[in-house]
Chain A
Amino acid sequence: MAEQVTSADRQAGRPGGRQAGAPGGPQTGRQSGSQVGRGSGRRSGSGVGRRPGSGFGRRPGSGSRSAGDMQTRRDRWLSINLALPSILLLGVAQLYPLFQGILYSFQKGKTTRPSQAWVGFDKYAQLFADPDFWKAVRFSIVFAIGGVVLSYLLGLVLALLLVRDIPMRGFLRVGFIVPWVIPPIVGMTAWRWMLQDERGAVNQVLNWFGVDTIFFFNDPKWTAVAAIVVKAWRSFPFMLVSLMATLQALDPVLDEAAAIDGAGRWKGFWHITFPQILPMSSILWVLMTIWSVNDYETPYLLTNNSANARNLMIFSFDEAIYRDLGKGSASAVVTLIVLGILAFFMLRLQKKASDLQ
């Protein structure tokens, strides 16, 4: 019985709200009614529906009610206070800038003299009329999708290989995580150096294979390709570690049963393994997309702030701090809204995927 509550609690706690509702069964009666359907049952104090001998079994005895009340109150106090530092910090660094940013987007101003006058939706109009804004939107989309797809595939393939019992596994795993660990400035500088004109390592290799030199940073198309590949290079370790963890938690019995039934390796993966890792995978897709759209450093440092590789972050920052505070703020607010919508739809997708399980 105790396990039942614990696992339901665990499920219910997922970020983005898998609101599991009341854990059901005999425990429901024990809640004092004000809680949102989840509970460890330790909260009632009022003794409503407390049936001796049911449920927990390990509860401190049915003795003095006042001791239970004290416990509950202290629990609640502790719970609020433990979360408080985080909530305060997030308030200062996200809630305040959010409201302030929205205000700025309706005003004319510069960073040295913000809030000069109210101009309504003017800044938004200017923003949507700016071709550079749409260029930034396009690049953000391409960059994010390309990066997520590539890093996921790479991470998945490597994870499938690394969960097997092979020699040097620990060493290999650590080695693959390095791109994620080193500072972006180091990685981007190295790639920049490798991708430069004829002297760069990449072009030297290409030339050796008979391919003409590619001027990665002059051609917008190739700049995008380079940005995506480098982003995937930086991001795949995260996919790798998460997918390895997920794969290792799977029940091997299913795989063995499929193998006994004669399923080929590809069929086995597609019909048995993949559905099981789908919920986690969809979380990873959402997370990585969000992180990619919010990524200022990779395109900026890789291309040295080239106009070919400006995504929404770079555009908004540049606009707000160096040119038009109102327009830049509007751009940042629009980005947030778009990300919010994106996350909403992707989370619904993820919920569907995990419900199907």
Chain B
Amino acid sequence: MKANNTLMRADRSASLLWRRHLCDKLATAMSWLGMLIVVFMLGSILWTLFKNGLAGMSVHLFTMSMAAPGQPGGLANAIVGSIIQTGLAILIGAPAGLMTGIYLAEYGTTSRLARIVRFVSDMLLSAPSILIGLFIYMMLVVPFGHFSGLSGAVALAILAMPIVVRTTEDMLRLVPVAMREAGIALGAPKWRVILFICVRAVRAGIMTGVLLAIARVAGETAPLLFTSLGNSEWSLDLGRPMASLPVAIYQYAGSAYQDWMQQAWTGALLVTLGVLIINIVVRVGTRGGRS
């Protein structure tokens, strides 16, 4: 009787153990599946881009401006336009982000105002980019009566700034107190300590944020649709509509012409490669620096 009881208990615990391990195996299998699907998606996107985009790589793409379907043309004006607008956006957005980051890390810290600024900046980080486009359209396009490269750059700057704010604040918080105290002990005023000791010490980290901001805004399309509009001719005038690679891709990808489609794919490959290479450099670089 007693032996029987023990046997039954052993039996039950064995079945429980079996069930627990089954659950574990099932969860493990689902987890592997999830991971593989995510990696497969990235692979599929890259493969599609290379398959369709590589064929259109040529010197003309970089030397000729956009042209009507059937005419020989390239994406040179769009590439240059993208570089100009992204560059200008960073020139506006990065210093503003840097100073806001300094305010949050060094002056505001836990004050009420700083908490609100931090919160709003984080919200802008994920705000729909099309809203920024509409906003700049009403602020800089309607009053001046025409679309312009400058308004596109300002829209992108609003998107770039919160990224720099986030990294600057995070990085400045990593600066050891001893370093600040050393600066103060030498008689340096606080602003010099911040700018020439703290910021300089973490400049690599802040550069990371700036690079990520470049990667983010270089591929943005929605805010440019209503601001710089796109331009099929060569133009460096910031007061006029300006071409950009993402908008050109959008325009070409929706067309029915074979050569435009080809250029859209090649442009897409260029944008993606650029953005991903910046990301890889940043992430490999920061990992190396940390360890």
A and B are interacting partners: no
